[in-house]
Amino acid sequence: MLKGVSAVFKRELAAYFATPLATVFLVIFLFAMGAFTFYMGGFFTNGQANLGVFFSFHPWLYLFLIPAISMRLWAEERKSGTIELLLTLPIPLASAVLGKFLAAWAFAGLALALTFPIWITVNYLGHPDNGVILASYIGSWLMAGGYLAIGSAVSAGTGNQVIAFVVSVVISFLFTIAGAPLVIDALSGWMPVELLGTISSFSFLTHFNAIMAGVIDLRDLVFFGTLIAFFLFVTAVLVDLRKAG
Amino acid sequence: MAMIEIDGLAKSFGPVAAVRGVTLSVDKGEVLGFLGPNGAGKSTTMKMLTGFLTPSEGAARICGHDVQSDPLPAQRLLGYLPEGAPAYGDMTPRGFLAFCAGVRGLTGEAARSAIERVVTRTELARVLDQPIETLSKGFKRRVGLAQAILHDPPVLVMDEPTDGLDPNQKHVVRELIREMSPQKAIIVSTHILEEVAAICTRAIIIDRGRVVADGPISDGRIVFRTSPENGEAGEVIADARDLDDVFRALTARPAAAA
């Protein structure tokens, strides 16, 4: 374990709960999840004992809610000047990057875990495949990690939280729909097919849908793992670049 | 070996040269007063010395460890109070100091006694459980100081430690620095010239990114070796109370150039 990760992790996680941010976020997250699943998704009327509709809304909710968690990661430190403190403490930069990310990811995991009543509900009403549900939860959490890593890198690139939020949403949106007709049709006229295939393989939706089918494929794990590692690396590079002035 | 060694440090932000070749060293027992007009490069030099900024040229060493190539050992031996004493506003001083202790590898009883010691020295006991953002400027500054001396570092770098404090609080901070000084190498930047006479054993004046005067202080007298930008190198012996005049003579610009 890198030195200092746990100290940064604990501080960051506590910071979410030191302000109303945690409460507001959790309430809105759970409320939105419920509203989407029951009203827009027709959870009760579709007559299926599974959580497919519930999980199918996750990418779209994350798109807006995850940047709200990640935007403060570095932008706030820069604004308040505490980054000068953090970067002159005797810990590797990687520890600070990782500790912050893990705290945000744990917080997202908590929000996700608090949706457990819907799992109880579906088990009460029928006999769902709990293996599929578990896989979907894991997939959803991995996907949240992907969005968070993107948000972390964007936050490191600016001292302004609003900019961090908006840019994160846009980049996250591109990653979400990379495989959708909106993107593919726009590019297919002039882009080589191989490149098109590469772009659509970056789609969060494609990978998440694969996991939601109940199979955690190594390729999907590798995709999200690599994506997270890459954007955390970008975060570290951006923080370090700022040191050079 | 000097505990702080700064060797030809320079820093440019784009076309603007903020620091242009600062070289100095500080030994144990020395308290170096860093003087200079606003924007002279004091804070930038300190930020490079502490590893927050990457120098464009030159190197800085703390107890022999190069801050750039070997930052962690250097930063372990360093206590740093950045300009404005930034701290996490949503934390209490207790939580903040516990975090700093944890990052510095102090745990359990060692952390507890270190925190207790600095809380006593900086007189923070009364506000220990209030969020830092609700504290007065004086208390915030003392939280920053407490963080800087938490691990009893041999090297202390403080950027305007008494800025914005009332006379009583200034006195407390100066006493603290004086008490610690025999064991440590200390750099203090300040705008308050009488502070230099009160606590420093040596003073330098930085102007436009260069050291223009450097000299020891003893018995309230200061012997400066000067090298102003457009003037002759020389020596100025001044009463420390007249530092104002020396400062202005060395750093004032003609009105037309300002």
ipTM of the complex: 0.90
| Interface check A3 vs B, CB under 8 A | yes
Paired tokens of A143: 């996907």
Indicate whether B257 pLDDT > 60.
no
Partner-chain contact A90 B11, CB within 8 Å:
no
- pLDDT tens per residue, chain A (245 residues)? 678 899 999 999 999 998 888 999 999 999 988 888 888 777 777 777 778 888 888 999 999 999 999 999 999 999 999 999 999 999 999 999 999 999 999 999 999 999 998 899 888 988 888 889 999 999 999 999 999 999 999 999 988 999 999 999 999 998 888 877 777 777 777 778 777 778 778 888 888 888 888 888 888 899 999 999 999 999 999 999 988 77
Q: Where exactly are the structural domains of chain A?
A: 2-244
To which H or E segment does residue B217 belong? strand B210-218
The predicted structure's pLDDT at residue A1: 61
Q: Considering Cα of A77, then A78, then A80, then A84, what sign does the dihedral take?
A: positive
d(CA B194, CA B207): 19
SS3 B90: coil
- Does residue B255 surpass a pLDDT of 70? no
Residue A207 is which amino acid? Answer: H
Is B86's CB within 8 Å of A80's CB? yes
Residues B199-249: pLDDT tens digits?
899 999 998 899 988 888 877 777 778 777 766 677 777 776 677 777 887
- Strand partners of residue A26: none
- In this complex, do A82 and B86 lie within 8 Å of one another by their Cβ atoms? yes
Question: Measured between beta carbons, which residues in chain A are less than 8 angstroms from residue B147?
Answer: 85
Q: Which chain A residue has the Cα nearest residue B132?
A: A18
Mutation pick from B90, B145, B149 vs chain A, by most beta carbons of A within 10 Å, is B90
pLDDT digits (tens, 9 = 90+) for B144-173: 999 999 999 999 999 999 887 888 888 888
